[in-house]
Amino acid sequence: MANLWIDLGNTRLKYWLIDEVGRVISADAKQHLSAPAELLMGLTYQFEKYAPNFIGISSVLGNNINAKVADSLAWLNIPFEFVHVDNRHKLMTSEYDPNQLGVDRWLQMLGVVDSGKRQCIVGCGTALTIDLIDHGNHLGGYIFPSIYLQREALFSGTKQISISDGEFDSILQGVTTQDAVHRGILLSIVGAINEISGRHDNYQIIMTGGDASIISQHIHKPVNIRQDLLLSGLMRYFNK
């Protein structure tokens, strides 16, 4: 029997239908426009046709929206469950208060954690996160605005820099304002990752998220890019 895995992020709803041997049968990602419960209601007919054995859900959207999501799924009569952060999970402990650790960030780590390694997990999403794991113990980490959030903040907070859709393609000094903005923002992120990895020399760097390919090429150490970490974390979490 297949299982359905759903990720409700800040801007997108993603889902994967996975068979019993881990193969992806169907997957999609859609903008939910701050109405994920309504979007899910529109997808429930499709989910009913899939007839999954179980639905596992990761959501960063809070209890009120999660309750509406639960109402949207309830009429399918298929067992479902939301992920709850567990800082004493059998695969990974954490120094964090579980109420302060975002479920998407935690699942990314859970999806790749290895008790035999030291790991630096970089999540390149709406927020950029850097987390350090020492042999299965999450030590904590850092949260930055993404390159696009930084650009939006700069444009909204200055009078002389106009909105531009330039490329984040280099960390060399720019000779136009547009290049200087994009290269300065990218350098701030790259510099932070290189600084942290330099302090933790024996940590493997694993990167995930939409901006991983942009950022990884400027990192001093080898980077392992994994775009399936949250899905892997979902599957690991519910493999009880």
Query: Which residues are known to be catalytic?
Result: 104
Helix boundaries (H) for 51-142: 63-74, 103-110
The phi, psi pair for 192, rounded to 5°, reads -65, -45
Q: CB of 143 within 8 A of CB of 150?
A: no
- Integer angstrom CA distances of residue 104 from 40, 48, 79, 111, 234: 19, 26, 21, 10, 9
**CA–CA separation, 206 and 208 (whole Å):** 7
The counts of H helices and E strands in the chain are: 7, 11
- Residue 155, Cβ neighbours under 10 Å: how many? 13
Length in residues, the chain: 240
